[in-house]
Amino acid sequence: MLPCRAFRFTLRTLCAVACVVVLLALPGCFTPQVYPTRHDAVITLKKNDLETAGIVFITPSAATGQEEEKQSVALKFADVLRHERPKIRVVMLSEALSAINKAGLADAYRRMYDDYRYTGLFERDMLRKVGEITGARYIAHLKLQRFGQGEKERFGALGFRIIETRYASIRLFFQIWDGNDGSIAWEGMQETHYSQDTFAEKAVSLNKIVDHTARDLIGRLP
């Protein structure tokens, strides 16, 4: 059994070594690592079409278990679009829902979503009506296909967690429909993996990873 003095010395040595390791690791900490995988297709949407005719966000779809995230995804995505493309008139989801309800179209709107669940199609006449009452020709629909978050220990000493890697991943599908004829004008999908080393016990938020994904997808619009 080590004498008390030797034990204190050993403990101080271990602490010093731990501090040195942490200091050496600091330059690589706090820098987010973002790995996107994306695919998009321009169908009929052309340069300046969105600036000319405007775009309205309708209720996103979500995979089972992710339904509560739909509103926040649409809000964040629309905010990013307004910031990145300020010349485009963007009608927020809340504005669209208010206009739809005021026009007495709530039941028709619900039926449109029921049909979409089985067919992948939005009914043409309803899209046209949404465009008319909101003053935007193009209709934006988001589908949250996956979202997950977690953490893992990267470095610890003396039973304490010093550095953790916080991570999140998302797969988001974005379609733009033409309200004039009911066709798909543009679509894109992106899967984003985001991780960051940190001392803080704070998860990577949905808001943060949607922000990164939205900027990438919006950057590929005509």
- Lowest mean pLDDT: which of 61-65, 125-129, 139-143? 61-65
Mean pLDDT along residues 214-218:
96
Q: Copy the structure tokens of residue 177.
A: 């429909």
Structure tokens that stand for 68 in this block: 């509560």
Q: In Å, how far are 70, 77, 171, 176, 215 from 60, measured between CA atoms?
A: 6, 11, 13, 12, 18
pLDDT tens for each residue of 181-200: 999 999 999 999 887 765 55
Is residue 192 within 8 Å of residue 167, measured between CB atoms? no
CB atoms within 10 A of CB 119: 9
Distance CA 197, CA 195 (A): 7
To the nearest whole number, what is the mean pLDDT of the chain? 83
Q: Which of 54, 66, 67 is nearest to 96 (CA)?
A: 54
Q: What is the pLDDT of residue 63?
A: 76
| Mean pLDDT calculated for residue range 82-91 | 98
pLDDT above 90 covers a percentage of the chain that reads 58
**CA neighbor of 50 nearest in space, from 165, 160, 136, 159:** 136
pLDDT digits (tens, 9 = 90+) for 2-56: 455 544 546 555 554 555 455 445 544 467 788 789 999 999 999 999 999 999 9
pLDDT at 149: 67
Spatial separation of the C-alpha atoms in residues 56 and 178, rounded to whole Å: 11
Q: What is the pLDDT of residue 33?
A: 81
User: Average pLDDT in the 84-112 region?
Assistant: 97
